[in-house]
Amino acid sequence: MKIRIHRTMAGAMFGFWWVIQPIVVAVFFRRELFRGAYPTDADSIGIPIFGFAIIWALLTPLVAWIVWRGLRHAPEHASLLAFDRMRPVAATAWSVGFAIMILEEFQSGISALGSRYPEGVLSGFIGVVSAMALRAVLSGPRLDPNATRRGATTQVIS
């Protein structure tokens, strides 16, 4: 059985995961504050919250550009295990980058499961699935850019 992923769905899932991260982090820090993990009269909770917010805000345009650039010449559908043999370095780089993200999100979800943090489990699951889908689309064969200029949208370089 071959699982096929649509490029728009892969981009939308990853975008959804990226956008919900501030909410998940805010819920996490609020829960940790109520558990007594941070003193209420110090900056020990403000520093990680604002650190995350600044980094997230700075990386958002870069992540959006990378996803847009990668999906621009991606075929409409890709296999979950897609790998472009014409671009082995790029496909391997995408695969390794997303493998690191998948492992981190999986570990984060398992850790959240152990600490009874359902938002973290859901965020980890969405992160794993969206990263797998986006990796498949970005690591798969590319559309021929010259064919798309001529009006054809289904010619794939293989």
Does some domain include residue 158? no
Look up the domain containing 111 and give its range: 4-37+46-149
Is the pLDDT higher at 154 or at 28?
A: 28
Tell me the CA distances in angstroms from 73 to 23, 98, 148, one per residue in order.
32, 19, 9
pLDDT digits (tens, 9 = 90+) for 124-153: 899 999 999 888 888 888 776 665 554 544
**Is the pLDDT score of 120 beyond 60?**
yes
Cβ neighbour number for residue 4 with a 10 Å cutoff = 11
pLDDT digits (tens, 9 = 90+) for 44-77: 778 888 899 999 999 999 999 988 888 887 888 8
- Indicate if the alpha-carbon torsion angle 114, 120, 124, 125 is positive or negative: positive
Task: Indicate the pTM of the whole model.
Answer: 0.77
Number of structural domains (the chain) is 1
Reading phi first (left if > 0) and then psi (alpha if -120 to 50, else beta), residue 36 is in left
Rounded-to-integer distance, Cα 142 and Cα 158, Å: 8
